[in-house]
Amino acid sequence: MDIGMIIDLIKSVPEDKFNDDETIKTIMDLAAKKSGKTYTEDQLNKLLQQFKEIAQMGTDASIIPWLLYRGGNTDQIDEIKKKFDSC
């Protein structure tokens, strides 16, 4: 999955909608479709739960290794961190 595409999807979400479960699931679904995958509603709910668990940890250490492994760079990670911090 292209991390840049995910970053662009995240950037496209207004800050006031970023905490909305349906919005987050929509982003996940769009990212999956753009990478040729499809998820069931149950799978999206599980991904949403994982996302919430990572976000609630409140630490960069929980997601940075995963993003770097998936091809992210430090600039992209900083952008994601700013988005999380604004929530």
Contact (Cβ atoms closer than 8 angstroms) between residue 18 and residue 83: yes
Overall number of domains in the chain = 1
Tens digits of per-residue pLDDT, 26-81? 888 888 888 788 899 999 998 888 877 766 765 556 666 766 766 777 787 777 77
Domain of 17 in residue numbering reads as 3-85
**What pTM value is reported for the model?**
0.59
For the stretch 51-69, what's the b/e string if a residue is b when 16 or more beta carbons lie within 10 angstroms of its beta carbon?
A: beeeeeeeeeeebeeebee
